[in-house]
Chain A
Amino acid sequence: GDSVTQMEGPVTLSEEAFLTINCTYTATGYPSLFWYVQYPGEGLQLLLKATKADDKGSNKGFEATYRKETTSFHLEKGSVQVSDSAVYFCALSGLNTDKLIFGTGTRLQVFP
């Protein structure tokens, strides 16, 4: 079945460092891909999405590119802030469904 694999955390960075969180997927056909963020004590917020190969999703300085050839959707940010500390989830939804399949999440900790 469809699945998502994320790098394990925590990822610990200093403020203004470059961030990469790896995400790869297994799916039939061409899924839509998402990154969600979860701040402590809160639900999930959509960070960005991409619906077809080579699409780049971006929001709040974060970016991710849908790479069909490597089945990847890595999250990047050029300069992280303390306020970016949260858990990040990579997810996919298959054709004609909005049911989401999530990875296990990656905790990001940013220190001043």
Chain B
Amino acid sequence: DTGVSQNPRHKITKRGQNVTFRCDPISEHNRLYWYRQTLGQGPEFLTYFQNEAQLEKSRLLSDRFSAERPKGSFSTLEIQRTEQGDSAMYLCASSGNKQGAVYEQYFGPGTRLTVT
């Protein structure tokens, strides 16, 4: 099995631009999560999908943020009109119904966003 993959690994953008990140979960995992991690902090939950349904969104997810998982496989996270405060590491995790993986979330390497 390959692990969770995220692209791009690094993104530098100018304030006001839109950015989109992609997450490919572990195959057959039906649950997918997005977290954000700023320097010196633990990851903070953003949103959660079970298959293609977005079941929970954090209040951290302002209306500039949107996430999709159209076919219940990969997911995208888009940030519109980026602000410097959006600079962070964006982490994706998946969990699912494979043996031994029902409750553990396995994380990808993250996408580091820098807004200049």
Q: Do A and B bind each other?
A: no
Residues of A within 8 A of B (CB): none
